[in-house]
A and B are shown apart, each in its own frame.
Chain A
Amino acid sequence: MAKVTVDGVEVEVPNGASVLQACEAAGKEIPRFCYHERLSVAGNCRMCLVEVEKAPKPIASCSYPVADGMKVFTDTPMVRNGRRGVMEFLLINHPLDCPICDQGGECDLQDEAVAYGMDRSRFQEGKRSIKDKYVGPLVKTIMNRCIHCTRCVRFCTEVAGVPELGATSRGETMEIGTYVEKALTTELSGNLIDICPVGALTSRPYAFASRPWELRKTDSVDVLDATGCNIRVDTRAGEVLRIQPRTNDEVNEEWLHDRGRFSFDGLKRRRLDRPWVKRDGKLRPATWAEAFDAIAARMKGLPGERIGAAVGDLVDAEAIVALKDLMAGLGSHNLECRIDGAAVDASRPDFWRFNTTIAGIDEADALLIIGSNPRQEAPVLNARIRRRTLAGTFPVGYIGPRGVNLTYGHDWLGEGPETLRALLDGSHRFSEALGRAERPMLILGRGALARPDGAAVLAAAWQVASRHNMLRPDWHGFNLLHLFGGQVGALELGFVAPPDLAPPGPPQALWLLGADGFDASRIPADTFVVYQGHHGEAAAARADVILPGCAYTEKEGTWVNTEGRVQRGRLAVHPPGEAREDWKIIRAASEVLGARLPYDTLAAVRARLVEVNPVFARPDRLERRGCEDKSGPAGDPGSLSDAPFALPISNYWQADVVSRASETMAECARVLLPAVPERIAAE
């Protein structure tokens, strides 16, 4: 530790820390453009100048290591003059287009210019102008505004793992760009907009939409993948204008994946905004009363075992518990939350959770990925794996389709379960790497379980974990990576049929709560289907009654991420038309079905959640547990087939019901999906 005095305040910082970090520890704010906590230090903007005792010149604090006994001054005439000079130079080639700049109001350069800028420029020559670059459908570039901090270059190279941005040419002709025009092939490109300190990289869908001070900000949680990124929903006049990440070091740090950030325009298309009832074989608009009457007419009096219910990928825990209680009231045990057919064993939480936790990836020292492409299934989590691979020795084994680019180096072990078998008997070369590791971990993709021998895959993966010392009281290295934000919540609430109770036949009535994306023609023709959800797709078209519900930005809801972390989303905008909160719809339906649910308020529903599973009592907190019980899930590894693993998400941009309705995401899919388009070749 080094003792540093900053403006008379003595602080202790670790050796090797930078002066800037020492100043922050002392509570002094240092202006900066190129320095970013989660990127490497570049030291090229020179805005963070401070004065150090006995140093003849001001020093750039971001790249200057502390020394014991150092005396730092952050507010002397020398410092202020130095920063003013730097600001004047930065503004030399910066256009004065703040009134038409989308960064206006949240621009670092604007803020610092208030503190250190002059009201006039001494620069009489012409400003340089740079052509705008095309870097994809999400990020808009206005390169005249660029101050060459190279944060975007470092982000692409270090965090996103797609070294495609660079600084070409030199001196006054230096440009940030891809040199060969192309769309950035990363699922994290939206973060470039956040880290750009000026308006050079702005959001294309948000272009000229609003000013930051006009927006109402609502803290929420992203459900479009299972990472559970913390987000802030910015709205104006009942309309979502953008979604930005919130910092949560244990989950998403400060990143957000593109689908979570940009697919919100799908919340305005294909919406279910009124009840529909099928009459004479055709869906017709109806009132809520007519819809409930239709449900009562068909479902009341049905034997419980002939009623079924399924929940989808994005549903909040409140609605799930309400539906579960309603089904219990109707005497039905036919519950299903694994509509993708994944053979998740619901008997013990550590069979379905990401037990190592996302933050725990930093501590792991070997990784085996089975049947998953984290880059597409959880891009933010993948960025953490990548950072771990850069931090030191971290062998990554990968079982899945060949040629997948995970953004970090990995050892491709095989395509299918035969590699699992080899790992099981320890004969595989990667067993040795896992054996050397002290804290090995394994990520099993949910997609690897959605196959006929899914239970065997799960059991085999568990035994691989057990064999390679991943299951210890002090370390749990078995992880299941889910795909969407509502999947774990349903498992935590036990929304599955008891294994020993097989339904006597096909259900006569089926309640689909946001359950979509499966083959609706599998439902028998004479089954009465209630679809409750927010977007219309195949399942809604098949339904006999449609009940319009809320999307994740439109309700107070609880979601559980893949780790089992309970997080709350809050109402940012009101639902469209006559749509209502999902648990309230189920509560109202329970009345007409004669199985009245005992809760009338959100607080009462949440109390019920805690009753069902105490984990819901502690939102945002997650206890890490080791593995106390090594006995594995039901399933026989011997019955593994030889079929290679297929990845569940082939189209990252349109993987869920919201993004499938989004035009932004459709454009992304068009540009980015057919391999990597070489626009230069086409021209």
Chain B
Amino acid sequence: MVTDIPAEIVYQRPEAFTEATTHYCPGCTHGVAHRLVAEVLDEMNLREKTIGVASVGCSVFAFNYFDCDFVEAAHGRAPAMATGIKRVLPERVVFTYQGDGDLASIGMAEIVHAAARGENITVIFINNANYGMTGGQMAPTTLPGQKTTSSPLGRDVEQMGFPIRTAELLATLEGAGYVVRRSLHDPKNIRLAKKALRLAFEAQVRGLGFSLVELLSTCPTNWGLNPIQALHWLEERMIPVFPLEDFKVSPALSQLRIS
């Protein structure tokens, strides 16, 4: 009987994570996004230098999971609050974590102007095509024809307009240093998302201006799908509308090699 195989840790809780138990629904990808952010904070040794800004939505309690200083913003105002913090503490790392209702609807002015100013903050933008916390209403990101509790017959673009491609919109602004969209629907894409988050924080540390990673995410509970079906729905329905691309990458970042 072999007993002397040395134990090797291959997977553990990131240091930037607390031991809080998740409040997210089964199958929701918020947890994955949280973990990726925490891993990046660990890798870059930023935990003690970082101030997070939580927003209003399912991630309103994001501060329970990250072992760093945090504030909780009013609905949509996280980029303004982050601006206030960053301007008086420019050496600190400041990130917001916002959903699509928060960022692309009620907070559209704040996010556009933060990007236009080249505010040196990092934004993690969760796009799950609906308002999760309030029970699955239509969001600015809801797909044409998608049924929600406030578009029960499906989003009629004649009446309710079209989904907003936020990353593309913000990438047009000169203050934006890094704006990309990634997805959390399978391991390969999760790895790409992690790399994008790393680059977004690298952009901030290097003073390259506003950085944003839009993450396509699932909402099985409000979509009425099981977690596997939800991952497929994201891949088949959301990606054609929200392509996974780099929309703005500062030249200084494109040179960067991350192991």
A pairs with B: no
Residue numbers of B with Cβ under 8 A of A are none
